[in-house]
Structure 1
Amino acid sequence: MADQEEDYSSLPLQDRATHKIWKVRLAAYEEMTKQFTTSASENDPCFRLFLNDPTLFKKIVTDSNVAAQEAGIASLVACLQYGGPNACQRLRGTVITPLAEKGMVSMRAGTRQKTIDALLYFIELDTPDPVVEELIPILSNKLPKLVAGTIIALREIVKSFGTKTVGPKSIVKALPKLFAHPDKNVRAEATNLTVELYRWMGDALKTGLVPDLKPVQQKELEEEFEKMKGSVPQQERFLHSQQQAAAQGNSLGGGAVEQEDEDEIDPMDFIEAVDVFGKIPGDFYERMGSVKWKDRKEAVDDLFKVVSVPKVADADFTELTRVLAKCIAKDANVAVVTVAANCVEALAKGLRAGFAKYKNTVFTSLLERLKEKKQSVSEALGAALDAVFESTTFSETLEEVLEFMKHKNPQIKQETTIFLVRCLRTVKIIPKQSEIKQMCEASTALLADTAKPVRSAAAEAMGTIMKMIGERAMTPYIDGLDDIRKNMIKEFFETATVKAKPEKAPPPTTVAPKAAARVPSGAPRPRSSAVGVKRPTSTTPNTSSGRPAPGSEPQAPPAPAHSRLAQPGARTSRVGTGSISAPRKKDDHSSSPRATSTSGTPPRSISSRGLTGVSLSTSASSSTSHSGLSAAEKAELAELRRAREDWVTSTAALKQQVDTLQADNLKLSQTIAELQVNNKQLIEDHTRDVLAVKAKETQLARARTEADDTRAQIGRLQRDLEIAKAAAAAAAASGASTTVPRADEIVARDLNDGISNVSPATRTKSESILAEEEKENGFSAPSMSRSAGVHVSRSTSRAGSFSPISTGTVDTSDIGSGNAGSVESWRRAAEVTSQLKARIEAMKARQIRR
């Protein structure tokens, strides 16, 4: 009881806010809220203690007592509400995370609501990004209740400020993980958050989220999205910077709605870019230079698989687009052209605005290839043209489109005009009047074309333009046409759909009103001192004419004559300084006799424009100095115009130079590819020639070896023949009865010995050579040529003796007695010998010829 009755109010506020008794802390929090609420300004001393030590509020929002915690978070809300942006910036980094972790899981609904209010104030007083960045990591917490509470806080943030103020990219990226959470409450709150995002983002949310969800979840979301269609969200709270801008005269509500109408959320912002440049096959360019269409088809197929991603990371695709453009323009195989056009389409859609720098490389090639009549090719080329157009502006593509609408090929004229119609349907700003005139003239010329599809496409283009600018504005372009063509144009006009709107004028903040606002401020300018000076009554006309009386307010409307004279002054005020515009308007007005005669009164000043009511003599005396200043301004304006013309000329020359360099680079690339193909062919031819030379050298070496063996054999045969002759002569002289070998036997034996020492390959070659020599020398006795060679040796080896006449030996007694058989045997030996000599001579002659 003593503790309860003890008075702690004498303690410093900081000590009470951190006291161990929760009631003391509660009272301190309530006192803090009261001080913040009754503070005189954002710089009041009551804020200083907590802003110098942000950890105090960290302890307050994490109070262990639920009642004290609620009061502490309420004091934080009051501190932010009355402390302004300074309090937000000093407390944000320390307080947000513990506030969300402890406040969003509280059992008290009031504590949870005050936590959300504090988070909203943190966003309103500065910027939403730091708060969202602090909340996103909490979505990965293991406590389902905390995750669900954080999702609720994010939903309230989006609902209050909208996706134009709060960037939804990080929130959308976290949604797939929340839909996969095991806790049903988390998944339910994730659905509520997604529906709220859909209210602001529309179908753009589906691109980055729906494909990653389960089919059941996709179906549930589609049903919820159908309920939200048609609802227009409104921003409920505005940032401090937006409030300051609105305080200058803009309406918060109207400005928010107008911004919502103008800006559209890009679905690509929620998709990560993929680096496809490093994934292009290394041999792609080599295969694209192949003479085989299948190799080129496989190359573009592989490339299409790489570039078929929703978003492509920017890189240098100059060489790739040139190769694709060359393939589209010159490849003879339509299948290769179709896939190449698909690659261009995928690359343009992935890069979007980043593809604009490659537009000049591929656009002309696509238009030239529209001559193909095959539907699949035309559709692929048309889709590629549409994707390239989306990456650029209408004005950048119009010149080439109009040029190809004059092409001599009817198919190209038709498809180009149809492409122009598609561009007119999707463009968001109405083209310039000069561009509309060019399109109408080109389409009117095509209305008289001999091909009916071309005339129909031209009529559709005219009808779409009429839908865009209106029937009245289109009258001058169709006035000279016959009724049939007018009816065709009006039919397409009734069915055409366009999105283009007039280009909005710049903000109505002109120089003249600002100058008028500065006049009453008392700036020491002699010319502005005459503003509001009353004129003598003698020079003042009757007020019944509708003009202001003398001394009236400066905002009174001027007379018509004065309004005409005010236009040059207003234009001068934007070119030069405001101090010289008023006298110039006065001089022009006073020196115009026509104005004087028309109004019937002397010129009067227009206070809102800074004109004075001085006499003509005064204006005449000062006209010299003012006219000099006007000449200087004109000279400066002329100088600026010349500089602009020089810049335009240099830009055009630079563009032409860049185009020339690109064309030269393309030619060099083509030359390099051709040289590579030729070099490859030369290497193959050289390799084939080297192999042929080596084969010839091997054959020559073998022939030389065989020739050497043949020479050695011939020498042995000659020696054996001489020995046989000597032996026969000696046997005949001695008359001995001993058996001596016959000459043909000796020769056959020597032939057999010589041939047995030769390799089979050489022996076969020798036999063929001998057969050829027999034919050349006219020998027609095959029994002699063969028996004297190989067949003789074979028979000798089998029987142990040799004789071409089937006799083994020669008896010397038969020789001595003059036996007829012996004489016949010697005659045959002589014939064999003569034949062998002839063959030897023929072989020598053949060797000499070689």
Structure 2
Amino acid sequence: MADQEEDYSSLPLQDRATHKIWKVRLAAYEEITKQFTTSASENDPCFRPFLSDPALFKKIVTDSNVAAQEVGITSLVACLQYGGPNACQRLRGTVVTPLAEKGLVSMRAGTRQKTIDALLYFIELDTPDPVIEELIPILSNKLPKLVTGTIIALREIVKSFGTKTVGPKSIVKALPKLFAHPDKNVRAEATNLTVELYKWMGDAIKAGLLPDLKPVQQKELEEEFESVKGSVPQQVRFLHSQQQAASQGHSVGSGAVEQEDEDEIDPMDFIEAVDIFGKIPGDFYERMGSVKWKDRKEAVDDLFKVVSVPKLADADFTELMRVLAKCVAKDANVAVVTVAANCVEAIAKGLRAGFAKYKNIVFTSLLERLKEKKQSVAEALGTALDAVFASTTFSDILEDVLEFMKHKNPQVKQETTIFLVRCLRTVKIIPKPSEIKLMCDACTVLLADTAKPVRSAAAEAMGTIMKMIGERAMTPYIDGLDDIRKNMIKEFFETATVKAKPEKVPPPSAQAPKAGGARVPSGAPRPRSSAVGVKRATSTTPNTSSGRPTPGSEPPAPPTVAHSRLAPPGARTSRVGAGSTGVLRKKDDHSSSPRTTSTSSTPPRSTSSRGLTGVSLSTSASLSTSHSGLSAAEKAELAELRRGREELVSSAATLKQQVDALQADNLKLSQAMAELQLSNKQLIEDHTRDVLAIKAKETQLARARSEADDARAQIGILQRDLDIAKAAAAAPSAPSATISRGDEIVARDLNDGINNVSPVPRTKSESILSEDEKENGFSAPTMSRSAGAHLSRSSSRTGSFSPISSGTVDTSDIGSGNAGSVESWRRAAEVTSQLKARIEAMKARQIRR
């Protein structure tokens, strides 16, 4: 009771705010709220103790007493509301997490609502990202009530600011885990948050969420999406920077979500990228180089399975794209070409803008292969071209497209022109006038083509261009055409649909400064110097109390150096004097300018009261509202400076275009050189492989020839044996099979020797044997009938043939009265020994073989 009656008002406010008695703390919180509400400005001293020690507010928002906690969070809301961005930035890192963990689970609805209000102020006064980063980890808390409260807070944040202000990527990534939470309240609030995100994002949320949910949950969400489809959410709270921009006259939008805003949300941002290079088969490149089309088809099929993912991790795809480009351009099998084109499409869609650096490798190969008339191949090539175009810009593909519109193949011309039409329908910014002219000139040529499909495609392209730029701007390009072609173009013009809009020109505040000053961000204080670099004297400016120029008091002249003629390239500008008023003076190699030398007899003008054109600063202050105070010479000078500036800007733009063109050419040449080097390396490898193969074939051929010679020799021997056997079988006086080949030859030689002694005509069988021996290189003498008869009788008695018996020779059998019989037998014996030697030599040669 004594504690309740004791007066604690004499204690310092900070001590009362941390007092052990909750009522003292509650009274202190109420007093703090009152001080913040009645403060004079954001820099009021009442904010200083709490901003210098953010831990004090951490204790306030986590007060153990629920009544005091609610009042304490109310004081935090007042601090943020009246303390501005400075209070937000000082307290955010210390207060947000404990505020959410203690305030969002409170039993009091007022406390929970005040907590959400404080979180909204933390976002409004600066940026939403730090607050979202503090809240996302709380979604993994084990306390379902805290997770539910955090989801509700996130839904209120999205509902108030929209996904254009609050990045939804981290929130969408956390949703699948919430839908798998065991608590039904968490799942129900996750559904409500998802529906709120769908209102702002549309179907873009489905790509990053639905694949991870159960089929039942997908069906429920689809039903919820249908119930809110078509609703237009409104942004009800704006960031401090957006409010400042609105106060300066820049529109921040009505809050309605337009179709363009939906397109800015990329569904791919919510999908994890996949690294495919670890999944490509190791023998992919080897199979792609196979001579069998089935091997190549299997290789591209395997690759297509790997690359068919929504998002690919960025890596070096150069070698892979070269292989696919070579396959598309040169493969003879259309099935392989079709799947290769599908692989290019999948990689382009998976890499998106990252595929632009590979465009030069594969784009012309796709265009060249448009000569295929098979519908399935044409569709695959067309979708691949569309995917490549989506990864780059219209200007990047236009040169190649215009070149292939001149192709000698009508099919290529037709399909390339149809591809151009598809590009014109989907491009979002109207092409440059120079590009429009190039396209119209190319289409005009095709309108006179002999093939009707080519003429129709060209007319459709020109009709689409007319839809894009208007009939009036198209008049110069169709003026010289006949009525038939004009009517064709207008028919396509009436049915064409385009998305292109003129390129947005940034507002003057967002453009580069015209006087060499720094670019001023939206909402920042405006510079105190004028656009021509002349700082107004504070004595002549209307707003002398603040020292700031009044709005609209800047002169419109943009030049940085106000002389009667442009400064030479080597000229420099600098401020004159440490205490000068900001006058810029030309400073070059000469000691004085022509203007100063021509007026050397006149008193020098004071830089503090005269500008560069000789007009007093008080007069220049009024130039922004009217030019009536300028003389004719000054107006001419101003106009000349403006013309000079425009010429410089134009020259700079031209030089930039030339530099970009040269860089693009250099890049193309580098890529071409790399491709040629790769081709050269491949050719060298192919040549080496071919040389080795030829040498192997030559070795095999030589071996085969040697084996063929051996076979022919063996065949000759076998043929001779066969002929001898046939001759022996045909001879009537020959024994059946007991006479060997060698004995047969000896017998013939003996016959020849005996015939020399007694020349008697041969029998038929002897003639056959003689002819056979002549083929084998023998010239045996003939044998007489009596000697042959004697030999036959001798062989029949002994069972084998022997020209000379082991006993004495009976000369009476040879013939009586023949004086040379002994000599003849001697000669026969010599011939027999020679024949035996030859037979042995032949046998030895056969054995060696």
Q: TM-score over 0.5 for the alignment?
A: yes
Matches for 1:141-290 after TM superposition, within 5 Å: 141-254=141-254, 261=261, 264-290=264-290
Is the 2:559–2:641 Cα contact (8 Å) retained in structure 1?
no
CA separation of 1:299/1:247 partners in 2, compared to 1, >3 Å: closer, same or farther?
Answer: same
Count of residues in correspondence between the two structures: 700
Q: Is the 8 A contact 2:274 2:313 kept in 1?
A: yes
Task: Note the C-alpha offset of 1:152.
Answer: 0.4
Moved more, 145-154 or 226-235: 226-235
Q: Would the aligned equivalents of 2:234 and 2:257 in 1 still touch at CA under 8 Å?
A: yes
Which one of the candidate residues 527, 543, 558 is aligned to 1:574?
558
Contact 2:197 2:205 in 1 (8 A): yes
The 2-side partners of 1:614 and 1:466 are apart by 46
1: CA distance between counterparts of 2:499 and 2:639?
45
- The answer (yes or no) to whether the contact 1:66–1:108 under 8 Å persists in 2 is yes
**1:392-541 alignment runs, 5 A limit:** 392-509=392-509, 518=530, 523=535
**2:309 aligned partner, one-letter code:** V
Structure 2 CA distance for partners of 1:323 and 1:107, relative to 1, 3 Å: same
Find the aligned partners of 1:520 and 1:487 in 2 and give their Cα distance: 54
Structure 1 residue 464, shift from structure 2 partner: 2.1
Report the alpha carbon displacement of residue 422 of structure 1 after superposing the two structures with TM: 1.0
Q: Please, which moves more after superposition, 481-490 or 687-696? A: 687-696
Q: Out of 783, 791, 795, which is 2:738 matched to?
A: 783
| Distance 1:639-1:273 versus aligned 2 partners, 3 A rule | same
Q: Is 2:300–2:339's contact at 8 Å kept on the other side of the alignment?
A: yes
3-state DSSP class of the match of 2:327? Answer: helix
Structure 1 residue 178 displacement after superposition:
1.2
Tell me if the contact between 2:552 and 2:625 (Cα under 8 Å) persists in the aligned partners. Answer: no
Letter in 2 for 1:673: Q
Cα separation, partners in 2 of 1:632 and 1:129, compared to 1, 3 Å: closer
* Residues 172, 270 of structure 2: 8 Å contact kept: yes
CA–CA distance in 1 between the matches of 2:479 and 2:489? 12
Q: What is the letter of the counterpart of residue 171 of structure 1? A: I
Q: Is the CA contact (8 Å cut-off) linking 2:43 and 2:83 kept in structure 1? A: yes
Which SS does the other structure have where 1:608 is aligned? coil
Q: After TM superposition, list the pairs within 5 Å mapping 1:336-735 onto structure 2.
A: 336-509=336-509, 518=530, 523=535, 573-577=557-561, 607-608=623-624, 611=627, 613=629, 648-649=657-658, 651-680=660-689
**Which residue, 831, 838, 842 being the options, matches 1:841?**
838
Distance in 1, Cα, partners of 2:718 & 2:406: 84
SS in 1 for 2:182: coil
Letter in 2 for 1:490: K
Q: Residue 342 of structure 1: CA displacement?
A: 1.0
Asked if structure 1 preserves the Cα contact closer than 8 Å seen for 2:417 and 2:458, the reply is: yes
Measure the CA separation in 2 of the matches of 1:127 and 1:259: 25
Aligned partners of 1:385 and 1:91: how far apart in 2? 53
* Larger relative helix fraction: 1
AA of the residue aligned to 1:403: E
SS in 2 for 1:367: helix
CA distance in 2, matches of 1:8, 1:580: 77
**Structure 1 residue matching 2:354: 3-state secondary structure:** helix
- The question of whether the paired residues in 2 share the 8 Å contact of 1:179 and 1:190 is answered with yes
Distance 1:643 1:229, change over 3 A: closer
Q: How has the CA–CA distance of structure 1 residues 843 and 418 changed in structure 2, closer, same or farther, with 3 Å as cutoff?
A: same
Distance (Å, rounded) in 1 between the aligned partners of 2:532 and 2:333: 78
Amino acid across the alignment from 2:667: V
User: Relative to structure 1, is the Cα distance of residues 660 and 44 closer, same or farther in structure 2, using a 3 angstrom cutoff?
Assistant: closer
| Cα distance between partner residues in 2 of 1:84 and 1:251 | 22
Stretch of structure 1 that moved more, 347-356 or 378-387 = 347-356
What is the rounded CA distance, in whole Å, between the counterparts of 1:169 and 1:14 in structure 2? 41
* Alpha carbons of structure 1 residues 60 and 311: separation in structure 2 relative to 1, 3 Å: same
Find the counterpart in structure 2 of residue 317 from structure 1: 317
Deviates more, 1:108-117 or 1:15-24: 15-24
In the TM superposition, residue 196 of structure 1 has moved relative to its aligned partner by 1.0
Q: Any conservation in 1 of the 2:356–2:388 contact (CA below 8 Å)?
A: yes
Measured in 1, the distance between the counterparts of 2:478 and 2:626 equals 48
> What is the Cα deviation at residue 678 of structure 1?
4.6
Is the CA contact (8 Å cut-off) linking 1:289 and 1:673 kept in structure 2? no
- Partners of 2:298 and 2:336 lie apart in 1 by 9
Match of 2:86 in 1: 86
| Structure 1 pair 258–691 and aligned structure 2 pair: CA distance change class (3 A) | closer
- Name the CA distance, whole Å, in 2 between partners of 1:377 and 1:577: 63
Which digits, 9 at most, give the CA deviation of each residue in 1:520-551, with x for residues without a partner? Answer: 9994689x9999xxxxxxxxxxxxxxxxxxxx
Q: Structure 2: how far apart are the matches of 1:439 and 1:247?
A: 45
Pick closer, same or farther for the CA change 1:839–1:176 going to 2, 3 Å: farther
Change (3 A) 1:376 1:633: same
1:495-519 per-position Cα deviation (integer Å, ceiling 9, x unaligned): 2221112222331458899999949
Rounded to whole Å, the distance in 2 between the matches of 1:291 and 1:50 is: 79
Return the alpha-carbon distance in structure 2 between the equivalents of residues 835 and 848 of structure 1. 20
Q: Distance in 2 between matches of 1:554 and 1:659?
A: 51
Letter in 1 for 2:24: V
Provide the C-alpha distance between the structure 2 equivalents of 1:88 and 1:108, rounded to a whole number of angstroms. 25
SS at match of 1:209: helix
Do the aligned partners of 1:516 and 1:610 also contact (CA within 8 Å) in 2?
Answer: no
Cα offset for 1:108?
Answer: 0.9
Q: Does structure 2 conserve the Cα–Cα contact (< 8 Å) formed by 1:30 and 1:71?
A: yes
Deviations 1:218-269 (A, max 9, x none): 2222222223333322222122222233332324444887896596211111
Cα distance change of structure 1 residues 370 and 769 upon mapping to structure 2, 3 Å threshold: closer
Query: Could you tell me the percent identity over the aligned residues?
Result: 71
Query: Residue type matched to 1:243 in 2?
Result: Q
Measured in 1, the distance between the counterparts of 2:388 and 2:355 equals 7
2:48 matches 1:37 = no
Matched position secondary structure for 1:574: coil
Q: Match for 1:667: what amino acid?
A: L
Q: Partners in 2 of 1:836 and 1:66 — Cα distance?
A: 141
Q: CA deviation at 1:189?
A: 0.8
8 Å Cα contact 1:43/1:83 also seen in 2: yes
Q: 1:506 to 1:28 in 2, by over 3 A?
A: closer
Sort the Cα spacing of 1:446 and 1:288 in 2 relative to 1 into closer, same or farther, 3 A: same
- Quote the offset at 1:115 in angstroms: 0.9
What TM-score do the two structures reach when normalised by structure 2?
Answer: 0.71
Q: Distance in 2 between matches of 1:804 and 1:185?
A: 126
Deviation, 1:34, is 2.0
Partners in 2 of 1:486 and 1:177 — Cα distance? 60
Q: Kindly indicate whether the alpha-carbon contact (under 8 Å) linking 1:448 and 1:455 is maintained by their aligned counterparts in 2.
A: yes
For 1:48 and 1:489, locate their aligned partners in 2 and report how far apart those are by CA, in whole Å.
72
Query: Do the aligned partners of 1:120 and 1:157 also contact (CA within 8 Å) in 2?
Result: yes
Measure the CA separation in 1 of the matches of 2:652 and 2:253: 44
Q: Equivalent residue of 1:783, what SS?
A: coil
Distance 1:647 1:103 in 2: 57
Q: Is the CA contact (8 Å cut-off) linking 1:516 and 1:609 kept in structure 2?
A: no
The separation in 2 between residues aligned to 1:503 and 1:520, in whole angstroms, is: 28
Task: Provide the C-alpha distance between the structure 1 equivalents of 2:89 and 2:193, rounded to a whole number of angstroms.
Answer: 27
Q: Mean alpha-carbon deviation: is it higher for 349-358 or for 76-85?
A: 76-85
CA-CA distance at 1:677 after TM superposition = 4.0
Change (3 A) 1:80 1:644: closer
Gap regions ≥5 residues in structure 1 = 532-552, 557-568, 583-604, 704-765, 789-802, 809-813, 819-830
Structure 2 equivalent of residue 732 of structure 1: none
Instruction: Say if 1:646 and 1:608 are closer, same or farther in 2 by CA, change over 3 A.
Output: closer
Distance 1:487 1:666, change over 3 A: same
Amino acid at match of 1:783: T
